[in-house]
């Protein structure tokens, strides 16, 4: 009788352990839910030595300084960055020197577009490297900075994707950017000049 009770306890313990493992594994397989976008109106560009066409320091309305990188697009570097500059130049069919000039142009374009207080929408997802966060950026007039950069031939479609704050999915947005890039190519703008 004692043996049977002990065996039942061992079997019950094993079943409970298996159930616990199954619960842990099931919860570990679920992707974490995406944090909602936080919106910051009235942001101000605070250029520093690392400011670029797609990555820049911003003073938020509460006075904090944060660095943001634009989702979906990549401007060429405004100073040589080895392999990365070569890869960016190849996208546009440029030499490395031409790509760096294009990066300087993109940097100036972004500074002009963000001259007046603008809007940042972020999920506070970190970018590799120094403390930077991905964001969607909108000018004072409500224009999407990524779309403006691509439309003017100043950025390649590249980088981290996310559903957008307005509910559009990545594929729909990528199609919009693709159309804008084709227009820039046809018009010979920015990196597509020949």
User: Mind listing the pLDDT tens digit for each residue in 126-179?
Assistant: 997 668 999 999 999 999 999 999 999 999 999 888 999 999 999 999 999 999
Asked if pLDDT for residue 1 goes beyond 80, the answer is no
**Cβ atoms of 61 and 135 closer than 8 Å:** no
| CA–CA dist 91, 86 (Å, integer) | 9
Given this model, what pLDDT does residue 35 score?
Answer: 83
**Cβ atoms of 124 and 35 closer than 8 Å:** yes
Choice among 4-13, 48-57, 114-123 with the minimum mean pLDDT: 4-13
Asked if pLDDT for residue 13 goes beyond 70, the answer is no
Task: Give 29-88 pLDDT, tens digit per residue.
Answer: 344 456 899 999 999 999 888 889 999 999 999 999 999 999 999 999 887 767 788 889
Give burial (CB, 10 Å; 0-12/13-18/19+) of 145.
Answer: buried
Q: Rounded to two decimals, what is the model's pTM?
A: 0.81
Asked if pLDDT for residue 6 goes beyond 70, the answer is no
Q: What is the largest CA-CA distance in the chain?
A: 91
């Amino acid at each position: 009788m004692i043996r049977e009770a002990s065996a039942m306890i061992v079997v019950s313990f094993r079943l409970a352990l298996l159930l616990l493992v199954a619960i842990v594994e099931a919860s570990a397989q679920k992707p974490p839910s995406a944090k909602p976008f936080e919106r910051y109106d009235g942001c101000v560009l605070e250029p520093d030595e690392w400011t670029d066409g797609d990555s820049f320091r911003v003073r938020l309305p509460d006075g904090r300084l944060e660095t943001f990188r634009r989702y979906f697009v990549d401007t060429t570097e405004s100073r040589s960055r080895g392999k990365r500059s070569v890869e960016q130049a190849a996208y546009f069919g440029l030499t490395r020197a031409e790509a760096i000039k294009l990066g300087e142009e993109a940097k100036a374009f972004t500074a002009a577009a963000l001259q007046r207080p603008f809007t940042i929408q972020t999920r506070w997802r970190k970018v590799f490297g120094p403390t930077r966060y991905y964001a969607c950026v909108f000018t004072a007039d409500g224009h999407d900075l990524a779309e403006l950069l691509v439309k003017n031939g100043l950025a390649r479609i590249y980088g981290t994707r996310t559903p957008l704050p307005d509910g559009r999915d990545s594929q729909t947005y990528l199609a919009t950017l693709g159309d804008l890039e084709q227009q820039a190519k046809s018009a010979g703008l920015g990196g597509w000049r020949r």
